[in-house]
Structure 1
Amino acid sequence: MPRDKFLSYLKNEKRYSPLTVTAYTTDLTQFYNFIKAQYDLTRIEEVTHGLIRSWIVDMIDAGITTRSVNRKITTLKSYYKFLLREGIVKKNPMLKILPPKTSKKLPVFVEKSSMDELLDTVDFDEGGKGRRDKLIILLLYSTGIRLSELINLKVSDIDFNKGTLKILGKGNKERILPFSDNLKNEIKQYLDEVCPIEWLFLTDKGKKLYAKLVYRLVNSYLRKVTTISKKSPHVLRHTFATHMLNNGADLNAIKEFLGHVSLSATQVYTHNTIKKLTNIYKQAHPKA
């Protein structure tokens, strides 16, 4: 089946992460279900650009966000490029598809005073669990790594002599990140108490950490110090980048920390900095 062949290609040749492959799988399953239910089609070769447009309209009418719709369009574009290359289809209907425009939203981040409160005054649980939870939040905030990168960290990825972490990012691309003496001490204390063998972070039952658990614990601790709408691990990534930029870090350096391929993905954080500068200007300048 073309779909299975494509997903195998993403997993084994493109080396996409399990989360990315799952997203592609979900998008394609929804598309196949739509063409079957609405047009009684099962063969991808019979799909036209008009049919794809009707799927897009159906999703928008159902209240699916423009960002999600565009991600599904991206999935189909990749799928049809693969099908064309494999000779499964002769024409690419996606060439006639234009994605709906999205309104750009500024990244949500936690104020520095709130992060200071969380790391300096909030009580974490006693023992290994509390040390793990605090280290997770400190790592996300201090390095800007992704959730998937965090849960896949191994003890062997830490180099205490050089003060660096080896991160396996999207597309299995490695990058080396420095860490502070404070973070170094936290890691050592955690390792001394928990003694993990392979994976750095473990569940209470000694198994490899999973994404939902990290999301729940980050959410619960952020609730103690902030009222922002989103309280997720990714918000700590936004917070890292915004605080770095506000304190004078070079945009290209932040790009390397975050593991972004292009600078355009990092530039979104400049909007938050400009907003802050505007507020300071209005408050401080006599003619503002």
Structure 2
Amino acid sequence: MLKDSFLKYLQFEKNYSDKTIVSYGIDLEKFEEYFKSVDESLDFTVVDADLIRGWVLSLMEEGYTATSVNRKLSSLRSFYHYLLRQGVVSVDPLLKVTGPKKKKPLPVFIKDADMTRLLDETAFDAGFEGLRDRLILEVFYETGIRRSELIGLTDADVDLSAKQIKVTGKRNKQRLIPFGDELKEDIEAYLSARKDLLPEGGEAFFVRRNGKAMYPYLVYLLVKRYLSRVVSLKKKSPHVLRHTFATSMLNNHAELSAVKELLGHESLTTTEVYTHTTFEELKKVYEQAHPRA
């Protein structure tokens, strides 16, 4: 049988693991069950693209995820490549078959009310480190910069008189991000505490007590520790605060193109993922508020 010879080929010539070979066998059996249910006289050599599309649809209706369906299609593609090499078939029926697209997960973000609780009601350590930690969270939330961009900030990048930060992003592309009076005051308080601790300054804008620049894992731990106080999300990273910035801006009627520039995205398509997040929030509000929802 064609199926058995293919599985032996995987075992002896391709050296696939027993587990993988069993999976391929199950996928082929499931496909055979499907086309036999359509027409008992059919076999692997005469199926066409429409029949395979019908199988894909039936799998989706059974509740298989896009990932599972695409894996089964991968098994089928390998099988028909084998049949082509053996001269058993002359046309690959999967040539014009595309698998279902995987759903991109929506960005995780924190609600504005939780960020207000974090910044206004949470007790931070006294002194330099407390001021620094709170400012780091505030800068992430109010500017949407990346962790690497925050670590790379220098004193020259922060213009207090113009109330703007010069950020060097991917591929050394620079952008200017404005900030408000409250953030300006908090920056001044941090710089004052830093000057008392390190009169000659440090390696970067945000530093440790020894004057050395912050490093990525330290910033991650800092953010995770403080976010744990106000949310129970699984993901509690600096990037979540970047998502939070973007979502908050769009929820408060910012133009998508403006948010794109502030985030330093190359393409508007990248920024559009946040519109899906805001729509999900809108759906929740509707379902909670409308009596017929």
User: TM (normalized to structure 2)?
Assistant: 0.63
Which residue of the partner structure matches residue 186 of structure 1? 186
Q: Which residue of 268, 271, 275 corresponds with 2:273?
A: 268
Which residue of the partner structure matches residue 233 of structure 1? 238
Q: Is the CA contact 2:140–2:146 (under 8 Å) kept in the aligned structure 1?
A: yes
| Cα distance per residue 1:37-95 (max 9 Å; x no partner) | xxxxxxxxxxxxxx9xxxxx9xxxxxxxx9xxxxxxxxxxxxxxxxxxxxxxxxxxxxx
Which residue of the partner structure matches residue 207 of structure 1? 212
Q: 1:270 is matched by which residue type in structure 2?
A: T
User: TM (normalized to structure 1)?
Assistant: 0.64
In the TM superposition, what is the alpha-carbon distance from 1:112 to its structure 2 partner?
1.3
| Cα distance per residue 1:84-119 (max 9 Å; x no partner) | xxxxxxxxxxxxxx9995430000011111111100
In the TM superposition, what is the alpha-carbon distance from 1:257 to its structure 2 partner?
0.7
Distance in 1, Cα, partners of 2:168 & 2:100: 33
Distance in 2, Cα, partners of 1:130 & 1:243: 25
Percent identity of paired positions between Structure 1 and Structure 2: 51
Q: 1:135 to 1:262 in 2, by over 3 A?
A: same
Q: How does 1:1-288 map to 2 (within 5 A)?
A: 102-195=102-195, 196-288=201-293
Q: Is the CA contact 1:155–1:198 (under 8 Å) kept in the aligned structure 2?
A: no
Query: Any gaps of 5 or more consecutive residues in structure 1?
Result: 1-50, 52-56, 58-65, 67-97
Query: Any gaps of 5 or more consecutive residues in structure 2?
Result: 1-13, 15-19, 21-66, 68-97, 196-200
Distance in 2, Cα, partners of 1:232 & 1:197: 25
Kindly name which structure, 1 or 2, has the bigger radius of gyration based on alpha carbons. Answer: 2
Q: Is the CA contact 2:140–2:238 (under 8 Å) kept in the aligned structure 1?
A: yes
Q: 1:197 to 1:207 in 2, by over 3 A?
A: closer
Q: 1:240 is matched by which residue type in structure 2?
A: F
Provide the secondary structure at the position in 2 that maps to 1:267.
Answer: helix
Distance in 2, Cα, partners of 1:187 & 1:100: 49
Provide the secondary structure at the position in 1 that maps to 2:106.
Answer: coil
Distance in 2, Cα, partners of 1:229 & 1:198: 33
Q: How many residues align?
A: 194
Provide the secondary structure at the position in 1 that maps to 2:285.
Answer: helix
Q: 1:99 to 1:253 in 2, by over 3 A?
A: farther
Distance in 2, Cα, partners of 1:265 & 1:107: 11
In the TM superposition, what is the alpha-carbon distance from 1:197 to its structure 2 partner?
4.3
| Cα distance per residue 1:235-285 (max 9 Å; x no partner) | 000011111111111111110110000000000011111111112222333
Q: 2:238 is matched by which residue type in structure 1?
A: P
| Cα distance per residue 1:105-146 (max 9 Å; x no partner) | 000011111111100011111110111100100000000000
